[in-house]
Amino acid sequence: MNWIKADSIDKINEIKALSGSEKVLIFKFSTKCSISYVVRSLLEREWNEGEMQMKTYYVDVISNRELSDKIEKEFGVTHETPQAIILEKSKPVFSASHGKVIFSELRKYANW
């Protein structure tokens, strides 16, 4: 999995623009939460770049809470962590948190 760090408002705007032409994943996690680490590790183990072909961005909500707030306001997705949000055409088409962030669900949104 090739994580791209989202650490600025400009990066969120870039993600939104990119979602106009392809699906993109934003993964929000907390460095203080063990569940976040478990979910991230499980995704990394199951992710297949050839199959998914989706850019994957991550937001550390402890270091970048303002970005999480921007995502919540911009896309209408209530803040949670860990949380996976898939955008398409600048709108969320999938959002899940905690134990509901599973690869089999994300796979349904692969860019084939």
Q: What is the pLDDT of residues 16-71, one digit of tens each?
A: 999 999 999 999 999 999 999 999 999 999 998 778 889 999 999 999 999 999 99
Torsion of the alpha carbons at 66, 52, 104 and 83, rounded to the nearest 10: 0
Q: Is 80 helix (H, G, I), strand (E, B) or coil?
A: coil
Say whether pLDDT at 1 is over 90. no
What is the longest distance spanned by two Cα atoms in the chain? 35
pLDDT category, 14, cuts 50, 70, 90? very high
Could you tell me what percent of the chain has a pLDDT over 70? 99
- Residue 40's pLDDT is what? 93
- Mean pLDDT, all residues of the chain: 92
- Residue 110's pLDDT is what? 85
- Residue 6's pLDDT is what? 96
Question: Is this model's pTM higher than 0.75 or not?
Answer: yes
